[in-house]
Chains A and B, each alone.
Chain A
Amino acid sequence: MSGLLSIVLIGLVFVIIYQIAKASEYSTILRGEEKINARVNRTMAILLVIFFLLGLYGIWLCHTSLMDRLLPVSASEHGVKYDSMFLTTLVVTGIVFFLTQTVLFWFAYKYQSTEKRTAFFYPHNNKLELIWTTIPAIAMAALVAIGLRNWSLMTDAAPKDAMIVEVVGKQFNWLIRYPGKDGVLGKRDFRKINDANNVLGLDWNDKDNMDDIIAQNGELHLVVNKPVSLIIGSRDVIHDVGLAHFRMKMDAVPGIITTMWFKPTITTEEMKKITGNKDFVYEISCDQMCGKGHYSMRGTVIVETQAEYDAWMAKQQSYYALNNAPAAAPASGEAQPEVKTDSVKAITMK
């Protein structure tokens, strides 16, 4: 009932607004259209200028109030290049933005219709056209050059000493597999997937799989200053490994393998200090619409020193041992006391 009432009320408001506007139209006709039109024209020219100035103030206000909510300093080598390229592009586009918008509103004000003014018949000027075709073309060429240089650095083959980790998306969490001691990820086959004891469909006929580790709490552990190559896949629909703090992103597509590599440069602990946020954590966000739980498809990344990493790794058991040799385990991995609660949430969110 209240819903209906408010709709009726809104309707009434619109009727009233319309009637008032209509009345002003009649009064315009009564008081002489040309005089009124001239006044309206002046008013609008002034309003546009006010709009422009308020807009500039708004941009400044928006910028100052949101700057501290942006991402902290980039935590990867790529990211540093990324940030500098972003800044360059921002400066170029910023200059164009302010120049063109200023000209737009300035012309509007300056050349507002008056009784005395007649428009200047000025249909074309090839020289001008040539100038403003060439200048953007050169600017674009420069931006493309910077972009392609960075792009080729980012998408180049990973360095040989990079550690390899597999990240597989499924509705709605991330599965992380380490190659184990042999440094080789074993074969997997989607037909062998079994949510009870083989979440990735590891092929147990492949010896390389025997020492592969699937991180029990879905955390991606990385070593600071050591490049990592992510082997990305998906079990069901398209997902996307989004690593905002490292300025990287790559789709996880069923049926194909995608890769991305980067070199983390700041540990999680250091980042907590930098941001002054003791809860700080690197997050993996799914950036490709993947179904109703898309928004909850969260993973975490722990960047740590080699020593910390080794200590963590030492505690991990191979997925084979965990699932196929029940005698050997009440697996220590499963009962880890220092399980990060937020990651548990990520893996249990359905």
Chain B
Amino acid sequence: MSDVIIQGASAHTHEAHTEHHGHEHHEQHFITKYIFSQDHKVIGRQFLVTGIIWAIIGALMSVFFRLQLGFPNETFPIMEKFLGEWAKGGKLSPEFYYALVTMHGTILVFFVLTAGLSGTFANILIPLQVGARDMASPFMNMLSYWFFFISSVFMFVSLFIQTGPASGGWTTYPPLSALKEASMGSGLGMDLWLISMALFVVSSLLGGLNYIVTILNMRTKGMTMTRMPLTIWALLFTAVLGVLSFPVLFSGFVLLIFDRNFGTSFYLSEIFIGGKALPHIGGSAILYQHLFWFLGHPEVYIIMLPGMGMASEVLSNHSRKPIFGYTAMIISLIGITVLAFLVWAHHMFVTGMSPFLGSIFVLLTLLIAVPSAVKVFNWLTTMWKGNIRFTVPMMFAMGFVSLFISGGLTGLFLGNSALDIHLHDTYFVVAHFHIVMGVSAFFGMFAGIYHWFPKMFGRFMNNTLGYIHFFITFAGAYLIFWPMHYEGIAGMPRRYYDYSAWESFKHFESLNSFISIAAIMVFFGQLIFVVNFFASIWRGRKLTVQNPWGSPTLEWTTPIKAGHGNWEGDIPEVYRWPYDYKDDGNGNDFIPQTTPLKPGEEAH
């Protein structure tokens, strides 16, 4: 891929400059340039491609378990080809069903929507938008990717071992995950899962620290904090969330590793399993849940914030209007970030936790709806009286807002403990979090990919395919997840392999089939994106102008094919905020951040 990328833009004059732009790293070897690269732009693309590969694997898993859920009485011989013993005779085994559900969650939450999303866009956007030549520590940045890569290898290997990958749900609650006797997936698969996740935490911390330091210290001249685009603000808080909460998850994992292998009793107490009483006494299974959700909830915002930032940027740019309420957007980001740490126990209302403690978490949880609502109203007002270009990124950014509203509102049910007591662990939860942090976050990511693809690869993605991809995904998301709310209201528990023995839930079989069919169609819809993405890297329409979207932000002042170091010559100085969508006097409807204020012009 790489050679083509360099030569791709050779027709343009910029290329001539990049070839010998004076730095120390021309004539780099292929390996240092594209594999062990320290260029943030290359690392970002590495994260993106790895994320896409994981997303395909994770989505394919959902196809397999949706086949089981939608058609519990049928057999699908083709599954045996893929899964072998796990789907003997074309019927998924319960063990592997649970393994698939677990892996689907782990992969999508951590590998795709954390590493693939903030790994990609923090890397690509932060130095370009704040005006830095690279991250504060390019070497640590490279390590961040490679820890993620090793983590991925461990997780991938765990798919192929005899006892199967971890199968205790992506939250891996002990004792289920701690005891080999409790489930097949709690054997070697769980060890690999823990090793992989521990490495993932290392990767995430290396990356996050770098992002924070770069944003705080390496802004170009004139780039005050309040002149940063909202993407950068969002990515800053994403990194802060990760840096403060991942270590807690790590400690939770370490204790779990000890309980599994060294006979400690942090999470285990009074257990009789496999025909014998275990010696563990005095541990608390709830402790793990506290440690897990202390990351687990901020994790939701680690996934959401980059999407929010990118949607803000894209909505503003393609509406040709400044983002409405820039300051309010930052304050609401701060509000979300702070509150994200104070709401974790709303995942635990029915664990037997003190009801009084529960009440406090109800209050704080519903409080977080306020900054979220402010953001929605600001996005809507950004579009008001705009001059909206329905480019593919804009479509996805609008879809992001629509889905964020839909998924956010159902959070008001689940965050209220008195309602959660019935809805907890039903399909209502599945519907809620898939819409809001699954599909909505994906829409933010797609908006970002379509918008910054020209920056990343010097070419455009195909529009027609983009629109098809958008409508399939948008309609599909609602078709899959909207009816699930009804199943949840009817109390249908999640993570069931088969509902046919249940008098209360078996009448949803036809609906489950419907959802499965929709899910499978959406899966193939995503392949359109994958084809479009990879084909466009080499064959997409070439970018001929530096700033295709007419954006005031700094990344579009770099050459089309920027080398390591981003700008030829000096880094530009910044004079104004990033949303000056107004007449520049030359027929343009925006003024780049690098343009000095005109005499008499007021700074925003």
Measured CB to CB, the residues of A under 8 A from B are: 2-3, 6, 10, 14-15, 17-18, 20-22, 24-25, 28-29, 37, 40-41, 44-45, 47-48, 51, 55, 58-59, 62, 66, 69-71, 82, 85-86, 89, 92-93, 96-97, 100-101, 103-104, 107-108, 111-114, 117-125, 128-129, 132-133, 136-137, 140, 143-144, 146-148, 150-152, 154-155, 170-171, 190-191, 193, 195, 201, 232, 235-238, 240, 242, 244-245, 247-251, 253-259, 277, 279-281, 283, 285-296, 298, 342, 345
Contacts and interface: CB of A to CB of B under 8 A. Distances in A.
A104 B402 contact: yes
A120 B479 CA distance: 36
Contacts of B281: 255
Given A190-B271, A193-B277, A287 B493 contact: yes
Nearest to B169: A289
Interface stretch (B195-203, B295-303, B504-512): B504-512
Interface in B172-225: 173, 175-176, 179, 182-184
B422 A97 contact: no
B272 A107 contact: no
B511 A25 contact: no
Nearest to B322: A123
Interface stretch (B10-18, B232-240, B381-389, B592-600): B381-389
A170 B424 CA distance: 20
A152 B192 CA distance: 43
B433 interface: no
B528 A117 contact: no
Contact of B370 (A124, A137, A150): A137
Interface of B: 78, 81, 94-95, 98, 167-169, 173, 175-176, 179, 182-184, 268-273, 275, 277, 281-286, 319-328, 350-352, 355, 358-359, 362-363, 366-367, 369-370, 373-374, 376-378, 380-381, 383-390, 395, 398, 401-402, 405-406, 409-410, 412-413, 416-419, 421-422, 424-426, 462-465, 467-468, 471, 474-475, 478-479, 482-483, 486, 489-491, 493, 495-499, 501-505, 507-508, 511, 524, 527-528, 531-532, 535, 539, 541, 579, 581-583, 589, 604
B503 A281 contact: yes
A55 B491 contact: no
21 contacts: A21-B462, A48-B395, A71-B489, A71-B490, A71-B504, A101-B406, A104-B401, A107-B383, A111-B319, A112-B390, A120-B321, A122-B384, A123-B324, A132-B377, A137-B370, A143-B416, A147-B417, A171-B273, A193-B272, A285-B505, A286-B493
B524 A237 contact: no
Contacts of A89: 412-413, 416, 419
A25 to B, nearest CB: 6
B402 to A, nearest CB: 6
Nearest to A193: B272
Contacts of B362: 144, 147-148, 151
Nearest to A96: B409
Contacts, number: 377
Contacts of B541: 25, 29
Contacts of A150: 418
Given A58-B482, A119-B320, A147-B419, A111 B503 contact: no
Contacts of A125: 324-325
B513 to A, nearest CB: 14
A255 B395 contact: no
A71 B462 CA distance: 47
B324 A124 contact: yes
B475 A236 contact: no
A280 B498 CA distance: 19
A39 to B, nearest CB: 11
Nearest to B500: A295
Contact of B389 (A101, A113, A190): A113
B496 A295 contact: yes
A40 B467 CA distance: 10
A151 B359 contact: yes
Scoring A17, A236, A237, A258 by chain B CB atoms within 10 A of each residue's CB, the highest score goes to A237
B362 to A, nearest CB: 6
A107 B384 contact: yes
A104 B389 CA distance: 15
Contacts of A128: 325, 377, 381
Contact of A283 (B286, B467, B503): B503
A25 B425 contact: no
B271 A236 contact: yes
A242 B184 CA distance: 25
Given A154-B418, A201-B272, A294-B496, A140 B478 contact: no
A155 B380 contact: no
B387 A111 contact: yes
A287 B424 contact: yes
A337 B532 CA distance: 66
A315 B256 CA distance: 46
Nearest to A281: B503
B175 A62 contact: no
A132 B277 contact: no
Nearest to B372: A136
Contact of A190 (B176, B270, B417, B497): B270
B387 A101 contact: no
Pairs A-B, 4 closest by C-beta atoms = A244-B491, A255-B269, A258-B352, A155-B355
Nearest to A14: B531
A285 B502 contact: yes
B302 to A, nearest CB: 23
A291 B471 contact: no
B483 A62 contact: yes
B482 A62 contact: yes
Scoring B328, B359, B493 by chain A CB atoms within 10 A of each residue's CB, the highest score goes to B493
B273 A100 contact: no
Contacts of A113: 320, 387-390
Nearest to A170: B272
Contact of A18 (B328, B363, B465, B467): B465
Given A97-B406, A132-B374, A193-B272, 20 more contacts: A17-B528, A69-B511, A71-B504, A104-B398, A108-B383, A111-B386, A113-B387, A113-B389, A113-B390, A118-B387, A119-B321, A170-B272, A242-B491, A245-B504, A253-B285, A254-B269, A289-B169, A289-B176, A294-B496, A345-B501
Nearest to A291: B183
Contacts of A256: 269, 284-286, 352
A236 B94 contact: no
B604 A123 contact: yes
Nearest to A155: B355
A141 to B, nearest CB: 8
Contacts of B381: 122, 128
A75 to B, nearest CB: 12
Contacts of B462: 18, 21-22, 25
B471 A47 contact: yes
A280 B506 CA distance: 12
A244 B272 contact: no
Nearest to B171: A289
Contacts of A69: 486, 490, 507-508, 511
Nearest to B99: A292
B463 A40 contact: yes
B183 A121 contact: no
A239 to B, nearest CB: 10
Contacts of A287: 424-426, 493
B273 A123 contact: no
A10 B383 contact: no
B108 to A, nearest CB: 17
A45 B378 CA distance: 21
Nearest to A255: B269
Contacts of B503: 277, 279-281, 283, 342
Contacts of B388: 45, 107-108, 111-113
Contact of A70 (B321, B376, B490, B531): B490
Contacts of B531: 14-15, 17-18
